[in-house]
Amino acid sequence: MIQFNYETDFKLNDEANTSSWIQECIQKEEGSLGEINYIFCDDDYLHKINVEFLQHDTLTDIISFDYSLGKEVSGDIFISIERVKENASLFNVPFENELHRVIIHGVLHYLGFKDKTDEEKEMMRGKENECLEILNKI
């Protein structure tokens, strides 16, 4: 089950379509869906979580807490809409594209993909792009 929660004025345009897409990406990587909670928030909200739980005094676009068991994907994914908007502008991409990239990024972590090294970042970006292509076909 995928739930979308809002701690800011933002709201997804099509929760059902987004849920179907996320599930399809999970299945493509041979995972199964457990429970994923998305929490859309602002910079202040996510900064407090970053400081309290990760001891990082920085702004970020996403923080994910992984509760997955084996191939069953579960967790809480916090996304700062302010950061996503700023990053979309910085990378000169539409907001929706950057938002979808961040939405699936957390799930890919749950599926075992990392992004610490250059090689891992390249693999993660490739998987994000594969999932974005799936979304474009839905």
Q: Is 86 helix (H, G, I), strand (E, B) or coil?
A: helix
Q: Is CATH 3.40.390.30 the classification given to domain 2-137?
A: yes
DSSP state of 71: T
- Amino acid type, 46: L
Q: How many CB atoms lie within 10 A of CB 37?
A: 16
pLDDT in tens, the chain (138 residues): 999 999 999 999 999 999 999 999 999 999 999 999 999 999 999 999 999 888 889 889 999 999 999 999 999 999 999 999 999 999 999 999 999 999 999 999 999 999 999 999 999 999 999 999 999 887
Rounded to the nearest 5°, which phi and psi values hold at 46? -70, -35
User: How is the chain split into domains, by residue range?
Assistant: 2-137
